[in-house]
Structure 1
Amino acid sequence: MKKLVIFLFGILPLAVLAQNNLGSANDYDRIALDVFIPEQVESIPEHAKSLIISKLTNAITEKGMAGAGASPRFLVTAKMELLTKDIAPTVPRVETYTFDIYLYIVDHVDKTIVSSTSFTAKGAGSNANKAYTNALRTLDLKNQKVDKFLDDGKRKIIEYYNSRCDFIIARAKSLATQNQFADALATLSGIPEVCKDCYMKALDEVGPIYQDFIDHDCQVMVNVASAVWASQPNSDGAMAAGAVLSGIDPDSRCYSESRTLIGKMEQKVLKDEKRDWSFMREVYQNEVMLEALRIKAFRDVGVAYGENQQPTYVYDIMWVFR
């Protein structure tokens, strides 16, 4: 649990030096964009798709914008449209294709295009796949046109967060009240550091939502462990319940309740089976065994293990390709 939140907020250092200065080159370091082309896109052969993703990733890496953000609302994608196709009656056969290549930065939540640019490319080969690949190999994305494309996207992303800050924070709070804590934290962590005022407001909300997060999960784990122990009040039940309780964050408000339950189990197992709590050491030292016991315990009492612990992302950008 704690590892998840550390991951989510690794990009949110407490010392904030950012300014809302669109001209600062360092601003790129605070806006991370992931490159994504849906598997369902059939107009680009697989090898060509991998090549264009690689070239796009390299281009945004050069600008310091590569890497998925904790809440990757904004994505970079590309599509290719065939303009001409010529087949030369030669041996070996040569197919020549001309394409328009479109690059987009999109808001996949609101389904809007934030920035775009396009190129025309030509490639030839013995088949369509080789022609596509050869066209992309000659494509240079490290140029002023791509720089402007990324600059425009960066500016509009910053404008989005600055203008909709209160709405974004309200959305995060709403998710938290629905026990969708990971999504709430991911929503807050997606605010770039460069948007200083909004970023600071988000930081103010992180602590309370995180506390609610670990408190909620603590109570779920205590309830699951109690149910497991009630149905199997012996060393096997204690092992399963203890595995569940070991996942509780010590900072949660019901942590003491979990320790009380462990104490009760320890006393009963010692009394009935003459075994002290040292039999749990093997479990605690084996992460694979511990995880397996946790999952089984949750299933046994009909609770979804890990529910709402991971942010949910559905990258539906097929509308770009229609």
Structure 2
Amino acid sequence: MKIKIIILLLVSLLSTGSSIMSAQNSEGKTDDLGRIAIVPYVSNQVENIPLSAKNNLQSKMAQILSKNDIAGSTGYPNQFIMVPNVSVLSKEVLASAPPKVVLNLEVAFYIGDGINGVKFGSIVVNVKGVGMNENKAYLSAFRNININNAELKRLIEQSKNRILEYYNDGCDFILKEAESLANQNEFDQALYVLSSVPVVSKDCFNQAQNKIEGIYKKKINRDCTILLNKATNAWNSSQDYESAKESAMYLNQIEPSSKCYSQVKNLANTIKKGVTRNIDRNWDFLDKQLESVTEIEKTRSETTKEIALYYAKSMPENVMYNIKGWW
């Protein structure tokens, strides 16, 4: 089923890639497919902070990035990250009733390429938090981080420029990486790499879009051969209605524009005749598949933005970023 979903989604990309820019212009901003994106990441190296406070800090960073229209979708790995490091400057317990904890913190924010380990820049913010206990004092301090901080804004603008340079200057490397992945039959990852190039890097974006179609065709042709063999073996195993349904499960995942689709139709007709002759039941696989394709055409604009996210969402969420030497 997952294979079918990504195939159908990729079909929509091929016919709507040229419309992404116009849709973005009409909305006044880009979506996750066309933007330079940074995600917040609280490293395990940030020690001695309660879990709830870490979550609060990550949410605060997400607010900062959203405020500057550069927030990426969380829940899956992203190449560019914002990372904090927290130092306790002082801690005091007030002899009040009840006692209160006062924390003065130095919160450093770093932005960089978490895959290649390149730091773009950093700033430091000093904040104070007061709470009934240490956990609440941390929460209070992180709430006091100003998302409109001018230094944070400058750091983000600087990082945007560095990311744009990454795509503009390293475009040939990105395209070659995608080709190499495709040659290893890692088509989903190759398509993700190409789809991740932001629209704002116009030349690289256009080159990446041009490569998507060729890699996509290689993917569906390979998938067609594999799935057709499985469908043939399923039908030949017993040539009854159950084997016909199993065969249809494989056939229904094959993209109609793939090279071997004429063989798919031949097998489907063979199965239909066998089902009608031996079991006296109707088997309308091809009609149902055409209905499914029609439905995808109707919802194409809604599904296009999911294409570049599909591969990333399938990756482990506990990916370890390379931030060695950032602080």
Given that 2:40 and 2:62 are in contact with CA atoms closer than 8 Å, whether structure 1 keeps it comes out as yes
1:198-213 aligned at under 5 Å gives the runs 198-213=204-219
2:169 aligned with 1:163, yes or no? yes
The C-alpha deviation readout for 1:105-159, integer Å capped at 9, x for no partner, is 2212112222322211121212121010000111102121111010110010011
Answer whether contact 2:72 2:78 (CA < 8 A) is retained: no
> Which residue of the partner structure matches residue 56 of structure 1?
61
* TM-score computed with the length of structure 1 as normaliser: 0.79
In structure 1, the partner of 2:298 is none
SS in 2 for 1:96: strand
**Closer, same or farther in 2 for the Cα pair 1:30/1:42, shift >3 Å?**
same
2-side partners of 1:92 and 1:129: how far apart? 15
Matched, 1:112 2:118: yes
Q: Does 1:195 align with 2:201?
A: yes
Distance 1:159 1:112 in 2: 13
Query: How is 1:11-50 mapped onto 2 (pairs within 5 angstroms)?
Result: 13=18, 30-37=35-42, 42-50=47-55
Does 2:144 align with 1:143? no
Compared with structure 1, are the counterparts of its residues 262 and 201 closer, same or farther at alpha carbon in structure 2 (3 Å cutoff)? same
The 3-state SS of whatever aligns with 1:316 is coil
- The residue aligned with 2:99 is 93
Q: How does 1:130-279 map to 2 (within 5 A)?
A: 130-278=136-284
SS in 2 for 1:79: strand
AA aligned opposite 1:273:
I
- CA deviations on 1:79-109 (whole Å, 9 max, x unpaired) are 3222322223443222222222122222121
Distance change (3 Å), C-alpha of 1:255 and 1:39? farther
Matches of 2:18 and 2:42, distance apart in 1: 31
> Pick from 315, 318, 321: which aligns with 1:317?
321
CA distance in 2, matches of 1:133, 1:122: 10
Q: Classify 1:279/1:33 alpha carbon distance in 2 versus 1 (closer, same or farther; 3 Å).
A: closer
> How far off its partner does 1:284 sit?
10
Deviations 1:47-89 (A, max 9, x none): 2223222222222222222233998321223232223222234
Are the structure 2 counterparts of residues 278 and 195 from structure 1 closer, same or farther at C-alpha, using a change threshold of 3 Å?
closer
Once residues 30 and 275 of structure 2 are traced to their aligned partners in structure 1, the CA distance between those partners, rounded to angstroms, is 59
> Match for 1:36: what amino acid?
Y
Which stretch has the larger CA shift, 73-82 or 175-184? 73-82
Q: Give the 3-state SS of the residue equivalent to 1:68 in structure 2.
A: coil
Flag structure 2 segments of 5+ consecutive residues without an equivalent.
Answer: 1-5, 23-27, 293-309
Instruction: Point out 4+ residue stretches in structure 1 off by more than 6 angstroms.
Output: 6-11, 25-29, 279-286
CA, structure 1 residues 63+79, in 2 after alignment: closer, same or farther (shift >3 Å)? same
180-189 vs 271-280, greater mean Cα deviation: 271-280
Mapped to 2, the partners of 1:260 and 1:131 lie a distance apart of: 70
Look up the equivalent residue of 2:58 and give its one-letter code.
Answer: I
> How far apart, in 2, do the equivalents of 1:184 and 1:136 lie?
39
Q: 1:79 to 1:71 in 2, by over 3 A?
A: closer
| CA distance in 2: counterparts of 1:128 and 1:67, whole angstroms | 31
What does residue 85 of structure 2 align with?
79
Single out whichever of 167-176 and 94-103 deviates more from structure 2: 94-103
**8 Å CA contact retained: 1:172, 1:185:** yes
Matched AA of 1:32? A
Please give the secondary structure, in 2, of the residue aligned with 1:30: coil
Q: What is aligned with 1:305? A: none
Q: Which runs of 5+ in 1 are unaligned?
A: 18-24, 287-308
User: For the residues of structure 1 that align with 2:16 and 2:133, how far apart are their CA atoms?
Assistant: 45
State the structure with bigger RCO (CA 8 A, min sep 6), 1 or 2. 2
2:73 alignment counterpart: 68
The one-letter amino acid paired with 1:102 is A
RMSD (Å) for aligned C-alpha atoms: 3.4
How has the CA–CA distance of structure 1 residues 41 and 270 changed in structure 2, closer, same or farther, with 3 Å as cutoff? farther
**Conserved in 1, the CA contact under 8 Å of 2:116 and 2:322?**
no
CA shift, 1:9, in A, is: 8.0
The 3 A distance-change label for structure 1 pair 163 and 313 is farther
Post-superposition CA distance 1:222-277 (Å, at most 9, x none): 12212222223211011011022112111111222211111111111222212221
Q: Secondary structure at the match of 1:204?
A: helix
1:316 alignment partner AA: M
Identity %: 29
One-letter code of the match for 1:317?
Y
Aligned counterparts of 1:225 and 1:143: Cα–Cα separation in 2:
60
In the TM superposition, residue 178 of structure 1 has moved relative to its aligned partner by 0.7
Q: Select the structure that is richer in helix.
A: 2
CA contact (8 A) 2:268 2:285 kept: no
